Amino acid sequence: MTMTKHDPIHRREGALYVEGVSASSLAETHNTPLYVYSLAALTGAWNAWMAGASQRTNSCQVKVHVAVKANSNLGVLSIFARLGAGFDIVSGGELRRVLAAGGRACDVVFSGVGKSHSEMKEALAAGVKCFNVESVPELSRLNDAAKEMGMKAPIALRVNPDVDAHTHAYNTTGKKGNKFGIDYSDARAAYSAAAGMENLEIIGVDCHIGSGITDTAPFLAAVDRVLDLVEVLERDGIPIAHIDLGGGLGIDYGDGDAPPPTPEFVKTILDHVDRRGPRNVWFEPGRSLTAAAGVLLTKVEYLKPGPRDGKNFCIVDAAMNDLARPAVYGAFHRIEAVHDRGGKGEVYDVVGPVCESGDWLGRARQLDVEVGDLVAVRDTGAYSFVMSSNYNTRPRAAEVIIDGETVHVVRKRETVEQLLAMESVLP
């Protein structure tokens, strides 16, 4: 099999390749565990969003903001900055990452429930284009921060539309009882309060209902709730320049629950908005831009047979500290041998060396592998490295981006010495 522009992660004669580079050569040069991202896959995902947006026939703006929390590597962010993306941040640290990667503060939306006073002032000084405010107390704090700086803070209120995204409970953000946003029934009063604060400028309405969503119906329900609110606000004399519909579109993890193609999804949402009247629309996709572009390479350390009629364990050198999603969400990732041996193999639980029973990457996977073989965990370009830790004093993995046959190391592997350097013993 040869690579096509539609299949940057593929197989040639049974061996896994990322664009023009074999996975085995990457592991040999850069060791494991190793995060590998395809530039072509990242660019292709972005182009899919743009293809959907380009089908809009009116002159209203469509702006796509990369969710930095999904993959905050500077190399990855720099790709999207060069493509003209906006960015969605949730901390002052993420703002600094965007700027270091070549992004512009005027393309940044600042979300998050717990913005500190100092983070607000840093973002105001940088010139972010909008704060997505999530509570009335945050409105007051932001007004005070802007007053101290002699500025007006551009804001949208994140409204909780009480729409069930039908995803994992930890990924649902738009229902009653979630910590995010302002309750829909309180939104009108919150906007009235914001309108009375001298150092705030209302420019939009924001919502985000969850992550990993594979059905358009929850999005459409949220759109209707948001547009209903916009009509009320504008009757109250509060003009709304844009609606921010967040993100949350899932990807096909190979578990039988695939979303619609991105261009089709984007067009469906925009058409639904336009039936109520053209509006500037912002999106903040996370995983759908980066997840499928990533592969975590790991090496088989042991094959541990279970007792009669029990489980077999494939113990690899990647662990829950490298990829937390299975342990945290029960997330499914495709796992495959880097080299196809051609046999049936055995059924294994794929687990890591961390001292926790929750340290697993996949359950009941059919693999034909031997000790020393490489295994690829697919679709790890989002919420993967960013959630990694140093638990068990394990240095975090290196990250590389593949551009054709060129390998760019965009994060060096940590060392134990670096981990210890931040600490000291008592005198």
What is the CATH number for 341? 2.40.37.10
Residue 309 and residue 196 in one domain: no
Residue 178 and residue 267 in one domain: yes
Which residues of the chain fall below pLDDT 50? 1-5, 167-175
- Encode pLDDT of 305-316 as tens digits: 988 777 899 999
Residue 284 and residue 358 in one domain: no
Three-class secondary structure of residue 395 per DSSP? coil
Q: Which domain holds residue 326?
A: 9-39+291-421
Tokens of 86: 């906006």
For residue 135, give Cα distances in angstroms to 181, 184, 194, 207, 240: 6, 12, 11, 13, 18
112 domain-assigned: yes
247 domain-assigned: yes
Find the helix packing angle between 39-54 and 74-82, rounded to 10°.
40
Residue 73 and residue 220 in one domain: yes
Residue 311 and residue 373 in one domain: yes
Q: Quick check: 373 and 305 in contact, CB under 8 A?
A: no
User: Rounded to whole angstroms, how far apart are CA atoms 370 and 394?
Assistant: 24
205 domain-assigned: yes
Pairing of strands 280-283, 200-206: unpaired
Domain end call among 289, 315, 341: 289
- Other C-beta atoms closer than 10 Å to the C-beta of 228 total 13
Residue 21 and residue 53 in one domain: no
Residue 160 bridge partners (DSSP):
183
Token look-up 């009941």 returns: 364
- The runs of H, that is alpha helices, within 149-202 are 187-195
176 domain-assigned: yes
Q: Quick check: 236 and 192 in contact, CB under 8 A?
A: yes
Residue 136 and residue 275 in one domain: yes
Check: pTM over 0.95? Answer yes or no. no
Domain end call among 225, 256, 289: 289
Residue 295 and residue 310 in one domain: yes
pLDDT of res. 258: 82
Number of domains the chain contains: 2
Residue 171 and residue 227 in one domain: yes
pLDDT of res. 6: 63
Q: Quick check: 369 and 303 in contact, CB under 8 A?
A: yes
User: Rounded to whole angstroms, how far apart are CA atoms 400 and 406?
Assistant: 10
Domain end call among 289, 322, 344: 289
User: Rounded to whole angstroms, how far apart are CA atoms 401 and 305?
Assistant: 36
Which one-letter DSSP state was computed for residue 231?
H
- Encode pLDDT of 393-426 as tens digits: 999 999 999 999 999 999 999 999 999 999 999 9
Residue 179 and residue 155 in one domain: yes
Residue 275 and residue 296 in one domain: no
- Encode pLDDT of 116-174 as tens digits: 999 999 999 999 999 999 999 999 999 999 999 999 999 999 998 887 555 444 444 44
So which residues are the catalytic ones? 355
Three-class secondary structure of residue 17 per DSSP? strand
pLDDT of res. 172: 46
User: Rounded to whole angstroms, how far apart are CA atoms 158 and 149?
Assistant: 24
Residue 338 and residue 221 in one domain: no
81 domain-assigned: yes
3 domain-assigned: no
Instruction: Tell me which residue of 23, 66, 30, 26 sits closest to 45, measured CA to CA.
Output: 66
427 domain-assigned: no
Q: Give the CATH number for residue 97.
A: 3.20.20.10
1 domain-assigned: no
